[in-house]
Amino acid sequence: MKSPELLYTPVRFLKGIGPKRAEVLAGHGIATVRDLLYYYPYGYLDLGRVETIGALRSHDYGDRAGALRSTLGTVRTVELLGRPPRQRLVIVLEDGTGFLQLIFFEGINFLKRAFAAGDLLAASGRVTRFRNQIQIVHPMIDRLSSGGEDGSGPEGFLHTGGIIPKYGSTKELRGVQLHVRGLRKIMREVVTQFLPHVPEILPAPVLASRGLAGISAALESIHFPQSYEALDVARRRLKYEELYMMQLLLAMRRNSVKSGPPGIAFRIGSRLARSLVDSLPFTLTAGQVSVINEITRDMREPRPMNRLLQGDVGSGKTVVALTAALIAVDNGCQAVFMAPTEILAEQHHRTISGYCAPLGVSVRLLTGGTKGKEREAIVRWIGSGEPGIYVGTHALIQEGVRFGRMGLAVIDEQHRFGVSQRLALRQGSAAAGEPQTDLLVMTATPIPRTLSMTLYGDLDVSVIRELPPERKKIVTSLRFEKERPAVYSFLRGQLSEGRQVYIVYPLVDESEKIDLKAATASFGRLRKEVFPEISTGLVHGKMPAGERDAVMAAFKEGAIRILVATTVIEVGIDIPNATVMLVEHAERFGLSQLHQLRGRVGRGSSQSYAILMAPDWMRARISQSASLLPDEGEPDDTLIAVRRLQIMRDTNDGFKIAENDLKLRGPGEFFGTKQSGLPRLRIADLLTDQELLDLARADAVSTVERDPHLRLSGHRHLREVVGREMKELVPLTESG
């Protein structure tokens, strides 16, 4: 007897998973049996295809790396060679037929501790010959057993043979012994025990017409494939399921806007908007004008606006949105402007107040930092429906904040928000039966055309294609540690011409404390030793809001000339006199982050510069390689970092950068839930699975047309999953 509810058994009730492991798993988004079953292997080790080290030696590699190869061997030595920054970790592997060196330039300290002589490892990667040795740089490795273990051998591994799944593990998972091997063991249990209870969520006619495998067979084969053919069949089914679910959400979202209450039909001949445009110190670009036209056309319609404005960093999206906001105010409504960070919200508040003061329009700010009486007063104005512009952060969609008369909601840098927040902002106004708010979301992350339909399938899209005319192209250069003195003297030159400088340090969650310390220490050094004669300020996310504002304001006024910052300044900040963006450890930033950071300069008419600092050891790899991506296989992390820097050096075009970003990261990561408000794709690939996507889209649309609220009995399990897993992402109206 099938019991689908068993799939929602919390993992802590499984054999071998106690509260501690359960907690770590939960941190990785795995709370239930179902989550585990949908945690697919990232790859497979085909024991049939493993070669001996002796066989690896016998291939002719020339001086180029060949195809991906796999081998098994026992660790003989783990050694650090060379000195920083050229330091590397060398693990020597032996299997009785020869020796193979595994070389690591990154993660050295962790790996040194993680491996010891006697460990049995499976390694795969591209083999190269160096002098008389064969080696793999940054191989993928799997520990099959530890040297310390009592010779009982790699449990459940060699004995099973065939195609072995490899599950992604992390430092935290390994910390509770959930390394690749541990995960494999648990997965085996779960598959055996629960597979019979997995309900089929795809409607029967869809399965039949698309010739897809049933869910149980597919899940079994994705985890423990009997053959490559079985694996292909399983992948096709599971990819389809993901794409279908994604398209189903989009179809339901579109449907709910269409069938919801109507929007406001604004009068668009706005005196305020007119006065704004007349008062601007510049002429709007043709792109800005045409987008303003598209927006006003939407606003005039009784149907609620649902528009995405895409425009590269610096293209001038803010004034466009402000024009729309003033139309709403002229119609006696409230306009809301939501930004992802306090710094950005404060900046918008300053800029917009500057434009609006002469027009007599009130502009108010509500962020997490707004406290006490001030907050009370603003929340009261918001509730009373008092017309004006309300700028803020997530604080605008908190419990207890309800707009009396919201006419327009603008979301800046929308890729930083989730769709749930988009829905929440819109719903923060309309009581039942009131008109729906017009929505304008803005982003500087351009989306390759083939994908925007999918990603923003529920939005109309406007694009600003050009930058304001007097902008000069930002000059981007890659510099290495050795060249630091020259970099500093370049900064000095710019500073002596009256310009200002950003110096940005990475702040990656995992090692936040260390990074923060590094940024603070460097700040001290810069101020005391390198630029003692120049006023320098520091901002980071952990600092009290008041202090941070003061520093930002001083930088804006020019009282501070060098701003040392963590990535809190990544988005939106607009200070035209700053002409140099120096990014420390640029290799640690993602492409879109680097592009955003670079967009902080080049906002005025002076020539601007982005300088990307990378460690010395990267120099050789960067000058070596010119092509964008290797033809096959997964590029390793180092190579990806190298490519990112090359791309940044070679292009300023945000569109090209996004395309490359997508290639490097893969759509799964590029379209994280946060950016897209769509379920994360674990297995489907929007770039290569276009055909399957089209089928899934057509099927999802027809499902929603026939059964908008998934009430038919054939959609019972589908509805269950949508309701449980995606309720924040889709308006599944209970009342409907």
Task: Give the residues lining the site for ligand ADP (CB under 6 A).
Answer: 282-285, 288, 311, 313-319, 444, 468, 572, 574, 576, 603
Q: Please give the DSSP secondary-structure letter assigned to residue 686.
A: T
| Separation between Cα atoms, residue 555 and residue 550, nearest integer Å | 9
**Pick from 368, 431, 436: which is nearest to 398 by CA?**
368
Give whichever of 357 and 628 is closer to ligand ADP, judged by the CB atom: 357
Give whichever of 230 and 313 is closer to ligand ADP, judged by the CB atom: 313
Neighbours of 42 (CB within 10 A): 15
Minimum CB–partner distance for residue 444 and Mg ion (Å): 7
- Tell me the CA distances in angstroms from 172 to 108, 175, 404, 613, one per residue in order: 17, 5, 46, 30
Among ligand ADP, Mg ion, none, what binds residue 459 when CB lies within 5 to 8 Å by partner kind? none
Give whichever of 603 and 663 is closer to ligand ADP, judged by the CB atom: 603
Give whichever of 100 and 335 is closer to ligand ADP, judged by the CB atom: 335
Minimum CB–partner distance for residue 576 and Mg ion (Å): 13
Among ligand ADP, Mg ion, none, what binds residue 13 when CB lies within 5 to 8 Å by partner kind? none
Give whichever of 281 and 546 is closer to ligand ADP, judged by the CB atom: 281
Query: In one letter, which amino acid is 160?
Result: T
Q: How many residues bind Mg ion (CB under 5 A)?
A: 1
Minimum CB–partner distance for residue 637 and ligand ADP (Å): 30
Among ligand ADP, Mg ion, none, what binds residue 428 when CB lies within 5 to 8 Å by partner kind? none
| Separation between Cα atoms, residue 277 and residue 319, nearest integer Å | 9
Backbone angles phi, psi at 533, to 5 degrees: -85, -5
Minimum CB–partner distance for residue 276 and ligand ADP (Å): 12
Among Mg ion, ligand ADP, none, what binds residue 98 when CB lies within 5 to 8 Å by partner kind? none
Give whichever of 388 and 446 is closer to ligand ADP, judged by the CB atom: 446
Judge contact between 718 and 203, C-beta under 8 A.
yes
130 CB-near residues (< 8 Å, 6+ apart): 101
Among ligand ADP, Mg ion, none, what binds residue 476 when CB lies within 5 to 8 Å by partner kind? none
Identify which range of 387-395, 566-574, 691-699, 706-714 contacts Mg ion by CB under 5 A: 566-574
Minimum CB–partner distance for residue 575 and ligand ADP (Å): 8
Minimum CB–partner distance for residue 472 and ligand ADP (Å): 13
**Pick from 157, 1, 8, 2: which is nearest to 720 by CA?**
8
Report the chain's C-alpha Rg in angstroms.
28
As beta bridge partners, residue 166 has 43
DSSP state string for 28-77? TT--BHHHHHT---SEEEEGGG-B-HHHHHHS--TTS--SEEEEEEEEEE
Give whichever of 572 and 731 is closer to Mg ion, judged by the CB atom: 572
Minimum CB–partner distance for residue 354 and ligand ADP (Å): 10
Minimum CB–partner distance for residue 212 and ligand ADP (Å): 43
Backbone angles phi, psi at 84, to 5 degrees: -55, 145
Minimum CB–partner distance for residue 347 and Mg ion (Å): 9
Q: Binders of Mg ion among 14-43, rule CB under 5 A?
A: none
Among ligand ADP, Mg ion, none, what binds residue 701 when CB lies within 5 to 8 Å by partner kind? none
**Pick from 497, 445, 477, 658: which is nearest to 582 by CA?**
477
Among Mg ion, ligand ADP, none, what binds residue 468 when CB lies within 5 to 8 Å by partner kind? ligand ADP
**Which residue's entry shows tokens 């729309």?**
324
Identify which range of 256-264, 473-481, 570-578, 614-622 contacts Mg ion by CB under 5 A: 570-578
As beta bridge partners, residue 102 has 91, 136
Give whichever of 41 and 572 is closer to Mg ion, judged by the CB atom: 572
Torsion from C-alpha of 81, 87, 89, 92, nearest 10 degrees: -40
Hey, CA dihedral for 203, 207, 208, 213, is it positive or negative?
negative
Give whichever of 202 and 344 is closer to Mg ion, judged by the CB atom: 344
Minimum CB–partner distance for residue 572 and Mg ion (Å): 4
Contacting residue, 154, 225, 387, 572, with Mg ion by CB under 5 A? 572
| Separation between Cα atoms, residue 356 and residue 422, nearest integer Å | 26
Give whichever of 603 and 697 is closer to ligand ADP, judged by the CB atom: 603
Minimum CB–partner distance for residue 543 and Mg ion (Å): 22
Give the residue at shortest CB distance from ligand ADP.
316
As beta bridge partners, residue 388 has 334
Minimum CB–partner distance for residue 571 and Mg ion (Å): 7
DSSP state string for 194-232? HGGGPPP-S-HHHHHHHTPPPHHHHHHHHHS-SSHHHHH
Pairing type for strands 68-81 and 88-94 reads antiparallel
Give whichever of 287 and 731 is closer to ligand ADP, judged by the CB atom: 287
Judge contact between 613 and 106, C-beta under 8 A.
no
Q: Does 446 bind Mg ion (CB under 5 A)?
A: no
Among ligand ADP, Mg ion, none, what binds residue 285 when CB lies within 5 to 8 Å by partner kind? ligand ADP
H or E stretch covering 673: helix 673-676
Give whichever of 347 and 660 is closer to ligand ADP, judged by the CB atom: 347
| Separation between Cα atoms, residue 345 and residue 337, nearest integer Å | 8
Residue numbers at the binding site for Mg ion (CB under 5 A): 572
